[in-house]
Amino acid sequence: MAKVLIIGAGGVGQVVTHKCARDPEVFSEICLASRTKQKCDAIAGQLSRPIETAQVDADNVPELVTLINRFRPDLVINVALPYQDLHIMDACLETGVHYLDTANYEPLDEARFCYRWQWEYQDRFREKGLMALLGSGFDPGVTNVYCARAQKHHFDEIHELDIIDCNAGDHGQPFATNFNPEINIREVTAKGRFWEKGQWQETPPLSVSRIYDFPEGIGPKKIYLLYHEELESLAQNLKGLKRASFWMTFSDNYLKHLEVLQNVGMTRIDPILYNGVEIVPLQFLKALLPDPGSLGPLTTGKTCIGCRIKGVKDGKEKEYFIYNICDHRTCYEEVGSQAVSYTTGVPAMVGAKMMLTGKWTGAGVFNMEQLDPDPFLAEVAKQGLPWTETFY
């Protein structure tokens, strides 16, 4: 029996709230708070049990502290935007509450994944006896736990890791992103980066690609090398790692639109003056693009996200792929959201459940691969994201 405060009433927040609401034994009281209270109320209206809702500006620490002190949660689940991470962590420290998020902190004016800012909270969380769980979505999140499982059960050393994220879904829109457009476009237009022989190597954005043959009827798709935040913690936590990279599929149509938007300056994150008013082109573009939450009823097809791992066990070379397949339409029928929000929201709820039921405990700041993968993977499968292992 625990009280949880969910911050952020977007696509992911909707899934987390649905899933927590269906597990009253663990999540006995829920408050959903966000910048726009109507969005919280709309989600609350879809549920079969009452929850509290609240308006909060999560960039304002005193406002967060007041809300936390009023509701007194055991845990804050942060599914707002990466810009809010440090403010919410500050408020959790001030009020003595555990913390969980799904994406690492990014400064507004610099598109850069980096755990340094949140890892710097290590001593403060440890001293207060509080736990901060970072990146409890799918990637980061389940992908880190897949690696922890591989390390615990299948390999003495992991040498090569490819995290592969395929969205083979179709929403029928000329151009839309499956999660927050601003965060998505910042991620995709950044330089590629991979880990090799103890060093980071950089590549121009979307300049490295290859074909990967996905299982279960998805088939061959072009995947592009990107930098993704889980590589940073995995490069530290996996024994013997020699190379690690992250890949994602994009349709030709998505890339065509993105190229034009970049060429005309619409993806810039620095402010420009328009009619005497400062605007950030990417934020303006976000206002024009479809809300990812609206894609739920339109999206069909599947996602496949997994880890292809090579290493050694008992002196022998071994290779395997661990992955999940998720169907957009099935997710929509269950919680009213497409699979990208679903595959993020379910692991956030499961990570919270691990913390609140004492299966994952500790004081300090943790990445997902540092905790026991077994109870998490058992629960994530039960909650709708089963996984499959193929050995080569």
Residue of 81, 100, 130, 354 interacting with ligand NDP (CB under 6 A): 81
Q: Which of residues 187-246 bind ligand NDP (CB under 6 A)?
A: none
Residue of 58, 97, 244, 261 interacting with ligand NDP (CB under 6 A): 58
CB closer to ligand NDP out of 84 and 299: 84
Q: What gap in Å lies between CA 90 and CA 88, rounded to an integer?
A: 5
CA 82 vs. chain centroid, Å, equals 10
Q: Does 36 engage in binding with ligand NDP (CB under 6 A)?
A: yes
Residue of 17, 249, 267, 344 interacting with ligand NDP (CB under 6 A): 344
CB-based burial label for 16 (10 Å; 0-12, 13-18, 19+): buried
The length of the chain is 392
CB closer to ligand NDP out of 57 and 157: 57
Q: Which stretch binds ligand NDP (CB under 6 A): 76-84, 144-152, 192-200, 377-385?
A: 76-84
CB closer to ligand NDP out of 155 and 166: 166
Q: Which stretch binds ligand NDP (CB under 6 A): 18-26, 90-98, 179-187, 306-314?
A: 179-187
66: which residues sit within 8 A by CB, 6+ positions away?
none
- Least Å distance, CB 147 to ligand NDP, is 14
Grouping H, G, I as helix, E, B as strand and the rest as coil, residue 345 is helix
Q: Does 92 engage in binding with ligand NDP (CB under 6 A)?
A: no
Residue nearest to ligand NDP (CB): 10
Q: Does 53 engage in binding with ligand NDP (CB under 6 A)?
A: no
Q: What gap in Å lies between CA 315 and CA 326, rounded to an integer?
A: 35
CB closer to ligand NDP out of 128 and 286: 286
- Least Å distance, CB 36 to ligand NDP, is 4
250: which residues sit within 8 A by CB, 6+ positions away?
188, 206, 222, 224, 258
Q: Does 140 engage in binding with ligand NDP (CB under 6 A)?
A: yes
DSSP class per residue in 30-71:
EEEEESSHHHHHHHHTTSSS--EEEE--TT-HHHHHHHHHHH
CB closer to ligand NDP out of 135 and 311: 135
Q: Does 9 engage in binding with ligand NDP (CB under 6 A)?
A: yes
Helix residue ranges, H only, the chain: 11-21, 37-44, 61-71, 85-95, 116-119, 122-127, 142-149, 181-188, 230-237, 252-263, 281-288, 328-335, 339-356, 373-382
The region, left, alpha or beta by phi > 0 then psi within -120 to 50, assigned to residue 134 is beta
CA 292 vs. chain centroid, Å, equals 15
Residue of 138, 146, 321, 342 interacting with ligand NDP (CB under 6 A): 138
Q: Does 311 engage in binding with ligand NDP (CB under 6 A)?
A: no
Q: Does 299 engage in binding with ligand NDP (CB under 6 A)?
A: no
Question: Residue 299 in contact with residue 171, Cβ under 8 Å?
Answer: yes
CB closer to ligand NDP out of 86 and 208: 86
DSSP bridge partners of 137: 141
Q: What gap in Å lies between CA 64 and CA 66, rounded to an integer?
A: 5
CB closer to ligand NDP out of 10 and 311: 10
What is the binding site for ligand NDP (CB under 6 A)?
8-13, 34-36, 39, 56-59, 79-82, 84, 102-103, 135, 137-141, 179-180, 183, 292-293, 340, 344
